[in-house]
Structure 1
Amino acid sequence: MSQFNQGAQPQIPAPRSIGFLLLDNFTLISLASAVEPLRMANQLSGKELYRWHTLTQSGQPVKASDGLQITPDVGLHNAPVLDAVIVCGGVDIQHSVTREHLHWLQIQARQGRKLGAVCTGSWALAKAGLLDGYDCSVHWECLASMQEAFPRAAITPRLFSIDRNRSTASGGTAPLDMMLHLIGREHGRELAAAISEMFIYERIRNEQDHQRVPLKHMLGTNQPKLQEIVALMEANLEEPIDLDELACYVDVSRRQLERLFQKYLHCSPSRYYLKLRLIRARQLLKQTSMSIIELASVCGFVSTPHFSKCYREYFGIPPRDERAGQSLSNVVALVPVPDELMQPASSTAKDALNRAQGESTFASVRL
């Protein structure tokens, strides 16, 4: 059970109230990934840091994409005063967003609410004109269509984006990372790390992490040769294949190969190949204990200095600093909750943490 502070002291701020707007066919995993960190923040801190409410347009039940029917707390017409609104989208988002949704979201924006979205919910914010000039994330299935439909929004392939008062996540478990970052900003990195451990979540991903967007989705079915070349690149990162050989494999000239990459991937073949190797190196750097020398070798770099130079130029940070920062910021251990959160009326945050560790499940979502 969440541990709420029943005797709040005057200096303790009121809990932040967050509304989750559920659209037809929303994805349940994205909702759960966004709500559960809030519940655990309350539980581990021993006080009610957050409240949340589920909303639908009319207040009537709505079905998630897996067929489960959810009864919301309220409709748009009688929604409580909120600090933030997060739109939960899913399948067939273009037909799930109504004029009433857009009007209500625009009112929330005018009233100064923070706005966010998970999965394909960014479509609703963009349709309402509320992402113009903002970086935003959306599930990769909706990436190309949003880029075309909303050119004023800076649609990115990142797992999540936090840009001023807009917070958007791509879906699946990405909302968990986004909410942990927001909780960390508001209540300290230690609390976010403790929440991550309770969910057996080994690494809190950051805004620089990208979705793996299937190339087939980006290119459609019209470029089989380009897809084949990229597949060859991905399968040969440790010993990169010469570009002339790649062209020969798929029966195109070197010049045709370069034109394909420039037209559809907006970079040269060698640059794309280098990017694949660096992304793989970053994964290994964060997820393994391999040495920098080993990483350079298995990702096809002739020397460690060359690898470090390329890594720094692409990611803006040397690999050694990346690993050092990783060990500091993403160590997920049962760490002390910040002192300012350790003042519940009837128990300490340490007691709340101990009780949480003994709970049999963390899977409930208050709907």
Structure 2
Amino acid sequence: MLPSPKRQIVELDDVPDKPRRFVFVLLENFTLLSFAAAIDCLRLANRMSGKRLYEWVLLGESADTVKCSTGTEFKLEGGFEELSRGDTVVVCGGADVQDATTKKLLNWLRREARKGVSVAGLCTAAYSLAKAGLLDGKRATIHWENQDSFSEEFEEVILTKSVFTIDGNRLTTAGGTSSIDLFLQVIANDHGEELANAVADQQIYSSIRTDQDTQRLSVPTRIGVRHPKLSQVIQQMEAHIEETISPSILAQDVGMSTRQLERLFRRYLNRSPKRYYMELRLQKARNLLMQTDMSVINVALACGFASPSHFSKCYRAHYNTTPYRERGAHATRLSV
């Protein structure tokens, strides 16, 4: 039998009389990784300090049980109860966050925020915070897959591509392991870098990110090709979906001819620049169809298509269905 390892306690100069309480609000189909990563940071901060620095409670609309993204049920400890000003609300979102963001949730968030309570949104829960009006004029982030729809719906929010943001008493993450980065920062702010680093070491988390780090892999890593000019062109395409740029101008911007650009795309991506650009636009269109109630016409315009008929034709050729049927099928899946 292996002996129990001796734990090194991080000595703290100033320990609060009361632990800081985090109120985790679990929405239906919340992302398990984001929630688990956050709560484990708090657990380890208590363990590594030898003090009860943090405590937490699990709440939800039903005050009974809620299912996470894996289908596992979690027992809740209560419903939308009255909080104290020192609490921090952490809304945990996931798939179909729009449906999980109910009027009851929004009213509760607004009421508690008026008290001065800090509010955080993990993964897609920035949507819930924005819908409640809690992110107006604030910096925020959300999972990259939801960025297009979010920016269309919440123009008053300063949307970033960071792994997490802290703007006053509003905190948001992009999902996944970014909860670790946010909560390590919270621990560092509360009790110092030494404790935060000790928690990271326990998690075998060796590359702590800051709010200056972006959530998506770099273009070369994503496409599996390290060619600087190709990366520059793709970045330009991704930044200009609504008002597209012609291949000739894209080529000119990186100092090559249109024919050279064509050969570059054929060699590394097995498609033309025009085809690749079209696929980027159609992917954004699909995200908007699934995640917003924008009309098909407005989705088409937001993705650089001059007419709904041309958009529908291109969409069908790529996805083997029309935009209208795609949205209808998605709505049917959600209602099952």
Q: Does 1:75 align with 2:87?
A: no
* 1:118, distance to aligned residue in structure 2 (A): 0.5
Instruction: Summarize the Cα distance change of 1:27–1:230 in structure 2 as closer, same or farther, 3 Å threshold.
Output: same
* 1:249, distance to aligned residue in structure 2 (A): 3.0
Report the counterpart of residue 193 of structure 1 in structure 2: 197
Residue 24 of structure 2 aligns to a residue whose secondary structure is: strand
Of residues 244, 256, 268 in structure 2, which corresponds to 1:244?
256
Measured in 2, the distance between the counterparts of 1:213 and 1:139 equals 13
* 1:79, distance to aligned residue in structure 2 (A): 6.2
Higher RCO (C-alpha under 8 Å, 6+ residues apart): 1
Report the counterpart of residue 15 of structure 1 in structure 2: 19
* 1:92, distance to aligned residue in structure 2 (A): 0.8
Residue 76 of structure 1 aligns to a residue whose secondary structure is: coil
Instruction: Summarize the Cα distance change of 1:124–1:54 in structure 2 as closer, same or farther, 3 Å threshold.
Output: same
Q: Does 1:130 align with 2:130?
A: no
Cα deviation digits, residues 276-315 of structure 1 (max 9, x gap): xxxxxxxxxxxxxxxxxxxxxxxxxxxxxxxxxxxxxxxx
Instruction: Determine if contact 2:91/2:121 at 8 Å carries over to the other structure.
Output: yes
- CA RMSD of superposed structures (Å): 3.3
**Identity across matched positions, percent:** 39
* 1:211, distance to aligned residue in structure 2 (A): 1.1
Of residues 59, 70, 83 in structure 2, which corresponds to 1:66?
70
Measured in 2, the distance between the counterparts of 1:163 and 1:243 equals 40
Measured in 2, the distance between the counterparts of 1:204 and 1:102 equals 32
Report the counterpart of residue 170 of structure 1 in structure 2: 174
Unaligned segments of structure 2, at least 5 residues = 1-6, 8-13, 220-229, 238-252, 265-272, 282-336
Report the counterpart of residue 322 of structure 2 in structure 1: none
Q: Does 1:210 align with 2:214?
A: yes
* 1:65, distance to aligned residue in structure 2 (A): 1.2
Measured in 1, the distance between the counterparts of 2:197 and 2:15 equals 25
Report the counterpart of residue 153 of structure 1 in structure 2: 157
Instruction: Look up the equivalent residue of 1:105 and give its one-letter code.
Output: L
* 1:80, distance to aligned residue in structure 2 (A): 7.2
Measured in 2, the distance between the counterparts of 1:229 and 1:182 equals 38
Instruction: Summarize the Cα distance change of 1:77–1:193 in structure 2 as closer, same or farther, 3 Å threshold.
Output: closer
Q: Does 1:44 align with 2:48?
A: yes
Instruction: Determine if contact 2:23/2:59 at 8 Å carries over to the other structure.
Output: yes
Cα deviation digits, residues 18-75 of structure 1 (max 9, x gap): 1011111100000011110100000111111001111111202111111111111111
* 1:213, distance to aligned residue in structure 2 (A): 6.8
Instruction: Determine if contact 2:233/2:254 at 8 Å carries over to the other structure.
Output: no
Instruction: Look up the equivalent residue of 2:72 and give its one-letter code.
Output: L
* Runs of 4+, deviation exceeding 4 Å: 78-82, 226-229
Instruction: Determine if contact 1:97/1:124 at 8 Å carries over to the other structure.
Output: yes
Instruction: Determine if contact 1:132/1:153 at 8 Å carries over to the other structure.
Output: yes
Measured in 1, the distance between the counterparts of 2:218 and 2:206 equals 25
Of residues 52, 55, 62 in structure 1, which corresponds to 2:59?
55
Alignment of 1:1-367 (within 5 A): 12-77=16-81, 83-212=87-216, 229-230=233-234, 243-245=255-257, 248-250=260-262
Measured in 1, the distance between the counterparts of 2:200 and 2:21 equals 22
Residue 62 of structure 2 aligns to a residue whose secondary structure is: coil
Measured in 2, the distance between the counterparts of 1:15 and 1:134 equals 28
Residue 205 of structure 2 aligns to a residue whose secondary structure is: coil
Instruction: Look up the equivalent residue of 1:67 and give its one-letter code.
Output: G
Instruction: Determine if contact 2:15/2:53 at 8 Å carries over to the other structure.
Output: no
* 1:245, distance to aligned residue in structure 2 (A): 4.3
